[in-house]
Chain A
Amino acid sequence: MELREKLSKKPVKFLTLLLTAMIIATASAAMYYSLTMTSTIQVYAANVYFKVGTDNGTKGLVVTLGTKNTSATLTGLRAYPNATFTYTNPVRVRNNGTSNAQVRLAPSLNPSDAVAANFVYVKFLLNATAVGDRRWLNYTSNGASWTVPSASGWTTLAGSGTEWPIVIMTMANATATAGSTVTIGITVDVD
Chain B
Amino acid sequence: MLPEFFALLGIDVFLMLSLLSCLLDDRLPKAIPYVYQIGALVGYGHLLISKEFFVIFGEYMRFWYCFIYLLVALANIVAVNVYFAVARGQWGLAKIWSGAVTFPTIVISMFFVSNYTSVQEATLPLLTLQVGLVVSALVMGVSICLLLSPEAMRNAFRRERR
Contacts and interface: CB of A to CB of B under 8 A. Distances in A.
Given A24-B11, A31-B44, 14 more contacts: A10-B22, A10-B25, A13-B22, A14-B23, A17-B18, A17-B33, A18-B19, A21-B37, A28-B43, A31-B48, A32-B4, A32-B5, A32-B47, A34-B51
Contacts of A36: 2
Contacts of A182: none
B12 A17 contact: no
Nearest to A31: B47
Interface in B36-75: 37, 40-41, 43-44, 47-48, 50-51, 54
B51 A35 contact: yes
A28 B11 CA distance: 8
- A interface, by DSSP: helix, strand, loop or mixed? helix
Interface of B: 2, 4-5, 7-8, 11-12, 15, 18-19, 22-23, 25, 33-34, 37, 40-41, 43-44, 47-48, 50-51, 54
Interface residues of A, number: 17
B51 A31 contact: yes
A20 interface: yes
A20 B39 CA distance: 13
B160 to A, nearest CB: 25
A34 B19 CA distance: 27
